[in-house]
């Protein structure tokens, strides 16, 4: 397994690189297909942010889906341990889910998954509110700013595959294109192993 360590706003010593490589070997017992793990260490230069002064993001590449985990701590060692624990937990959950769904050949359709999804009401927006530009979009009022954007290439997949991918990245939601309907969809966690799906019905202009 190859380990690549990069850093922003701080320097990485050879001792830390060796420590990272040694620690990451424990992931192989959860997924023997891992080929490479990218470790990104980002140090916060502001001393007031000492509780989360170091952010570590792990990205594992294998013959299967990409797995990501991240964590913050006061130092590099602590942040690494937290991120590593999260990634190991995600791998265990994914393995448990594969066992639960073993022998199930037909994936659940989006329509079936949507049957129990509650429809949430949206708040009305005051048209007189101040409009701001945030990147390529407009924001009304004084709401939060978009501080991070990510774009990922993805092939259409089934709902079952999307659930599996969500477990691996450790998020409570996962955006994907449904292979059956070719619609943008989001699967999200509800309770335990219960999930919901939101699908966009693309409007066709006349």
pLDDT at 115: 53
pLDDT tens per residue, range 16-27: 999 999 999 888
Contacts of 169 (CB under 8 A, 6+ apart): 66, 67, 68, 90
Q: What is the DSSP letter of 178?
A: B
Where does 2-100 sit in CATH, by number? Answer: 3.30.160.100
In the predicted model, is pLDDT for residue 129 greater than 60?
Answer: no
**Domain 106-114+152-206's class?**
alpha beta
Q: What is the DSSP letter of 94?
A: H
The 184-189 sheet, strands edge to edge:
173-177, 184-189, 195-199
Residue span(s) of the chain under CATH 3.30.505.50 come to 106-114+152-206
Residue span(s) of the chain under CATH 3.30.160.100 come to 2-100
Confidence of residue 99 (pLDDT cuts 50, 70, 90): low
Mean pLDDT of all residues in 126-150: 56
Both structure tokens of 140:
């009304």
pLDDT at 145: 59
Q: How many angstroms separate the CA atoms of 179 and 154, rounded?
A: 11
């Amino acid at each position: 397994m190859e380990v690549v360590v990069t850093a922003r706003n701080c320097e990485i010593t050879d001792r830390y690189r060796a420590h990272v490589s040694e620690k990451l070997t424990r992931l192989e017992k959860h997924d023997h297909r891992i080929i490479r793990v990218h470790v990104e260490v980002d140090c916060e230069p502001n001393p007031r942010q000492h509780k989360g002064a170091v952010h570590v993001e792990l990205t594992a590449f294998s013959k299967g889906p990409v797995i990501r985990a991240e964590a913050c701590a006061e130092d590099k060692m602590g942040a690494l341990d937290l991120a590593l624990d999260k990634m190991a937990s995600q791998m265990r959950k994914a393995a448990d889910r594969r066992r639960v769904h073993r022998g199930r050949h037909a994936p659940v359709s989006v329509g079936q998954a949507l049957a129990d999804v509650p429809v949430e009401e949206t708040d009305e927006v005051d048209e007189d509110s101040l409009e701001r530009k945030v990147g390529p979009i407009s924001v009304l009022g004084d709401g939060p700013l978009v501080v991070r954007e990510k774009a990922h290439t993805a092939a259409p997949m089934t709902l079952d595959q999307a659930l599996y991918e969500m477990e691996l990245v450790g998020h409570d939601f996962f955006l994907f294109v449904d292979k059956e309907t070719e619609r943008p969809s989001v699967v999200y966690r509800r309770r335990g192993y219960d999930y919901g799906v939101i699908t966009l019905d693309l409007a066709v202009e006349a």
